[in-house]
């Protein structure tokens, strides 16, 4: 890997008896998108907060490798944040301002002169597909527009690294696709991205590398395709319908390497599904879905299929 | 191998780290205010002026002259000089409680700001100065109306403006303590009924403190609003306040102490 732009080393955070982040380390290279996936309460947001200097780690370091030397959170928080763009989980746009004013006011927090910000505003709104919305109030925007304005706001200081905490949660499919397209453009422009999400399609599409986080610990790390190939059988047959659950105990089991049950569905993991599909074709009351293994399977294998109370 | 960062477990009581980064936060609030200036000023001015007219002219006709520390003055002047301090107190308190809480908790404006290179200390300082500015603008407007009503023409009143700004800073800082502790808007009711209302009646706004029982006088003597009234009332009469140094020190001590406490409690709230 290239020399990293941003590093997290043995980061730990405890709240009372609970260890929320446990010895977490990772690097992000320039122009790379790193995804952090994990169930709710896995420590994703706490990790982001420590990266931002908003929470103080109990152990470990957050380092930004700048041309002039290493900067460390929270000591050099101001210098690091000048190089970061942040889209947090909840919109914090200013409801009292128009779209353009939101960008202007936010740019001032970076100490940018008004003239510089005003010159950037049309370009940023254009990028966010909000070109005609400069004078619009925040209350007039849809959820997707608000998120894109948050993204535009995070770009006002032309950052090197974007920290995106669940940037598409709550968006409809069109709005998510538009967001993804913009994020891919940013990576092509050479920006680095740290992204947390619990959408596996999002992680697979956007991220060069992924970390699966659970109970604050890193379960695995790698490129999405590599992780799937390394951890999982290549093919999956999902079986559902009345009597599907008995299949999990039937002799069919021998045709799969691994079997899992989630709700009313049985998942057969196998290197070759032919024999299994043939055997299932006799069971007319069952519905089957044959597909390649994906990130969702990996995620569920590592973090468990049971529904958590705090989820 | 895990190194413990030097900053782990930073005390919330550490010295305030102040910088000029409060300026853009202040300007943000100013930009909002400019859009809502007229209704905001009307709200800040109308109530104290109604009180002034009702009590000043109504009650003033019954009371006539008031004797305070050797000087005799018309009740309307007595009330005007006290109520302008009260207006500064109320304007600063409202802003640093309800409005600051909206920005901190409801709109998450503070969270957004702290994503930029602006620290919590800067935000709290900006909120304090902003609430003081609102107190100053409201009391300046009221002062203009008082001048127009001919309540006083003393040129010394120019000195009242910076003092009212200071009064705003003191009460903004005290209010920010309660803002840091609040779970919701309801909490502020306690602050208003248990602290601000008694303060208002004990500090010589409506009647001379000498009318109070002894133990209350002893308390009242050290209230910040008392210091404010003692400093500003003589200015209405064209006099230099007695014991000006002591009263100023009381205000500064309250302001500095309250700001530090407010900052520590806000840092704890944000786990910063």
The phi, psi pair for B69, rounded to 5°, reads 45, 50
Which of B1, B3, B4, B5 has the most A C-beta neighbours within 10 Å, making it the best mutation to test the interface with A? B5
Residue A104 forms part of a structural domain:
yes
The whole domain housing A111 covers 6-223
Residue A202 forms part of a structural domain:
yes
Instruction: Determine the pLDDT at residue A306.
Output: 55
Decide if A88 and B2 are in contact by the 8 Å CB cutoff.
no
Sheet holding A69-73, edge to edge: A18-28, A6-15, A59-66, A69-73
Where in A155-214 does DSSP place strands (E)? 161-165, 192-197, 209-214
Measured between CB atoms, does A25 come within 8 Å of chain B? no
SS3 A188: helix
Instruction: Determine the pLDDT at residue A2.
Output: 74
Measured between CB atoms, does A75 come within 8 Å of chain B? yes
Distance CA A202, CA A207 (A): 8
Distance CA A123, CA A259 (A): 52
Q: Are residues A204 and A254 part of one domain?
A: no
A200, A223, A246 — which closes off a domain? Answer: A223
Average pLDDT, chain A: 89
Q: Are residues A204 and A99 part of one domain?
A: yes
Distance CA A127, CA A132 (A): 11
Distance CA B137, CA B131 (A): 10
Instruction: Determine the pLDDT at residue B9.
Output: 59
Burial zone of A238 (CB within 10 Å; 0-12 exposed, 13-18 middle, 19+ buried): middle
Q: Are residues A277 and A237 part of one domain?
A: yes
Rounded to 5°, the CA angle A200-A201-A205 comes to 115
Pairs from A14-22 (Cβ < 8 Å, separation ≥ 24): A14/A58, A19/A215, A19/A216, A20/A46, A20/A216, A21/A46, A21/A47, A21/A50, A21/A57, A21/A216, A22/A215, A22/A216, A22/A217
Instruction: Determine the pLDDT at residue A311.
Output: 42
Residue A78 forms part of a structural domain:
yes
A223, A256, A275 — which closes off a domain? Answer: A223
Cβ neighbours of B107 in A, within 8 Å: 92, 94-95
Decide if A10 and B2 are in contact by the 8 Å CB cutoff.
yes
Task: List the beta bridge partners of residue A72.
Answer: A63
Peptide bond into A74 cis (omega under 30): yes
Q: Report the CATH number that the domain containing residue A276 is assigned in CATH.
A: 3.30.70
Q: Report the CATH number that the domain containing residue A203 is assigned in CATH.
A: 3.40.50.300
Contact A243, A282 (CB under 8 A): no
Q: Are residues A165 and A33 part of one domain?
A: yes
A280's CB contacts (< 8 A; 6+ apart) are A237, A239, A247, A252, A286, A288
Q: pLDDT for A158-168, tens place per residue?
A: 999 999 999 98
SS3 B266: helix
Residue A48 forms part of a structural domain:
yes
Is the dihedral angle over the CA atoms B234, B239, B245, B251 positive or is it negative?
Answer: positive
Q: Which of B17, B31, B74 is nearest to B264 (CA)?
A: B17
Residue A301 forms part of a structural domain:
no
Q: Which of B172, B123, B182, B131 is nearest to A54 (CA)?
A: B123
CA A290 to chain centre: 27
Residue A306 forms part of a structural domain:
no
Number of structural domains, chain A?
A: 2
Q: How far is CA B201 from CA B71, B75, B234, in A?
A: 21, 16, 19
ipTM of this complex prediction, to 2 decimal places: 0.87
Instruction: Determine the pLDDT at residue B8.
Output: 47
Buried b (16+ CB within 10 A) or exposed e, B35-61: eeeeebbeebbeebbebbeebbeeebe
Q: Are residues A251 and A135 part of one domain?
A: no
- Look up residue B221 and give its two tokens: 């003597």
Q: Are residues A139 and A114 part of one domain?
A: yes
Query: pLDDT tens, position by position, for chain A (311 residues)?
Result: 678 999 999 999 998 888 999 999 999 999 999 999 988 888 898 999 899 888 889 999 999 999 889 999 888 989 999 999 999 888 889 999 999 999 999 999 999 999 999 999 999 999 999 999 999 999 999 999 999 999 999 999 999 999 999 998 888 899 899 999 999 999 999 999 999 988 888 998 999 999 999 989 998 999 999 998 988 889 999 988 877 788 778 777 788 888 888 888 888 999 988 888 888 887 778 888 999 998 888 888 888 765 554 44
**DSSP state letter for A137:** B
Decide if A57 and B8 are in contact by the 8 Å CB cutoff.
yes
Which residue of chain A comes nearest to B268, CA vs CA? Answer: A55
Which residue of chain B comes nearest to A76, CA vs CA? Answer: B117
Q: How far is CA A131 from CA A82, A121, A168, B101, B170, in A?
A: 26, 9, 20, 33, 45
Q: Are residues A251 and A216 part of one domain?
A: no
Spans of chain B below 70 pLDDT: 1-9, 272
Q: Which of A195, A198, A199, A273 is nearest to A239 (CA)?
A: A273
Q: Are residues A35 and A150 part of one domain?
A: yes
Distance CA A199, CA A183 (A): 15
Q: Are residues A275 and A188 part of one domain?
A: no
Q: Where are the domains of chain B?
A: 22-269
Distance CA A256, CA A173 (A): 34
Q: Are residues A212 and A260 part of one domain?
A: no
Q: Are residues A173 and A36 part of one domain?
A: yes
B210's CB contacts (< 8 A; 6+ apart) are B68, B217
Contact A44, A219 (CB under 8 A): no
Distance CA B61, CA B78 (A): 13
Which residue of chain A comes nearest to B35, CA vs CA? Answer: A96
Cβ neighbours of A93 in B, within 8 Å: 112
Q: Are residues A279 and A200 part of one domain?
A: no
Distance CA A163, CA A155 (A): 11
- The model's pTM is 0.88
């Amino acid at each position: 890997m290239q020399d990293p732009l941003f590093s997290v080393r043995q980061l730990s955070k405890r709240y009372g008896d609970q260890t929320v982040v446990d010895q977490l380390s990772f690097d992000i290279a320039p122009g790379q998108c790193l995804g952090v996936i994990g169930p709710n309460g896995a420590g994703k947001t706490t990790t982001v907060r420590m990266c931002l200097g908003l929470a103080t780690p109990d152990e470990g370091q957050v380092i930004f490798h700048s041309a002039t030397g290493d900067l460390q959170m929270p000591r050099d928080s101001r210098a690091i944040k000048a190089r970061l763009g942040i889209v947090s989980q909840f919109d914090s746009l200013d409801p009292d301002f128009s779209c353009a004013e939101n960008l202007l006011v936010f740019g001032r927090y970076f100490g940018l002169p008004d003239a510089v910000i005003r010159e950037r505003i049309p370009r940023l709104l254009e990028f966010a597909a909000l070109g005609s919305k400069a004078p619009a109030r925040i209350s007039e925007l849809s959820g997707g527009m608000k998120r894109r304005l948050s993204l535009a706001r995070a770009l006002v200081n032309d950052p090197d690294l974007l920290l995106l905490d669940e940037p598409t949660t709550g968006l409809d499919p069109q709005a998510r696709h538009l967001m993804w397209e913009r994020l891919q453009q940013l990576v092509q422009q050479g920006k680095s991205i740290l992204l947390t999400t619990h959408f596996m399609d999002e992680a697979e599409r956007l991220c060069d590398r992924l970390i699966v986080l659970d109970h604050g610990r890193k379960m695995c790390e790698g490129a999405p395709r590599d992780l799937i190939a390394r951890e999982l059988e290549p093919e999956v047959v999902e079986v559902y319908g009345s009597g599907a659950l008995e299949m999990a105990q039937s002799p069919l089991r021998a045709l799969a390497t691994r079997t899992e049950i989630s709700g009313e569905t049985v998942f057969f993991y196998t290197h070759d599904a032919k024999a299994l599909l043939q055997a299932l074709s006799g069971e007319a009351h069952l519905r089957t879905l044959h597909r390649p293994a994906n990130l969702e399977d990996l995620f569920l294998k590592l973090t468990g299929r049971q529904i958590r109370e705090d989820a | 191998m895990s190194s413990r960062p030097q900053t782990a477990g930073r005390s919330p009581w550490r010295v305030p780290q102040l910088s000029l980064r409060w300026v853009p936060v202040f300007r943000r609030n100013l930009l909002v205010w400019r859009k809502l200036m007229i209704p905001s000023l009307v709200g800040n001015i109308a109530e104290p002026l109604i009180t002034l007219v009702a009590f000043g002219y109504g009650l003033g006709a019954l009371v006539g002259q008031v004797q305070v520390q050797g000087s005799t003055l018309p009740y309307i002047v007595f009330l005007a000089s006290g109520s302008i301090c009260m207006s500064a107190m109320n304007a600063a308190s409202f802003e640093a409680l309800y409005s600051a809480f909206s920005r901190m908790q409801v709109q998450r404006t503070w969270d957004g700001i702290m994503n930029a290179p602006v620290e919590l200390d800067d935000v709290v300082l900006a909120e304090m100065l902003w609430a003081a500015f609102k107190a100053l603008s409201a009391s300046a407007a009221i002062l203009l109306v008082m001048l127009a009503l001919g309540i006083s023409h003393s040129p010394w009143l120019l000195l009242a403006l910076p003092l009212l700004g200071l009064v705003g800073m003191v009460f903004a800082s005290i209010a920010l303590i309660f803002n840091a502790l609040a779970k919701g808007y309801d909490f502020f009711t306690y602050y208003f009924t248990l602290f601000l209302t008694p303060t208002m009646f004990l500090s010589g706004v409506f009647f001379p403190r000498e009318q109070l029982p002894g133990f209350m006088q002893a308390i009242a003597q050290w209230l910040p609003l008392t210091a404010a009234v003692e400093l500003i009332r003589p200015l209405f009469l064209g006099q230099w306040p007695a014991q000006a140094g002591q009263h100023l020190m009381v205000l500064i001590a309250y302001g500095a102490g309250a700001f530090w406490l407010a900052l520590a409690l806000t840092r704890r709230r944000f786990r910063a």
